[in-house]
Structure 1
Amino acid sequence: MELIIVLVIALVVLGPKRLPAAGRSLGQGMREFKDSLSGREDTPVADERPVAEVGQRES
């Protein structure tokens, strides 16, 4: 019930055009916060082997 009230208030305050953008930015901020707490980076660590070695099988 409380969630519905909060959503209605957000719809009235932000309007139907800005509400999706506000939700998106809120979700992105929460995701960045959780990632910073866990120490996870946005960019994956690249394989450091040269490109010629990537295609070869290791014996």
Structure 2
Amino acid sequence: FGRFERRALKEYGTGLGLSIVVKAVERSGGRTWVEDRVPGDHTQGAVFVVELMAA
């Protein structure tokens, strides 16, 4: 989730959203990752997982 990276140039946005989330989650001791929505088939979308530490 690099800063200023975007999937398509036609889309609006700065490309900062996921990189900000990743930094905030990592600083709090959590983890983030991406999985295929349909296991083994990346063409069917993605699931973005955020795992936070219990307070």
Answer 1 or 2: which has greater helix percent.
Answer: 1
Larger Rg: 1
Answer 1 or 2: which has greater strand percent.
Answer: 2
TM more than 0.5: no
Greater RCO, CA 8 A, separation 6+: 2
**Under a length normalisation based on structure 1, what TM-score does the superposition of the two structures give?**
0.32
**Under a length normalisation based on structure 2, what TM-score does the superposition of the two structures give?**
0.34
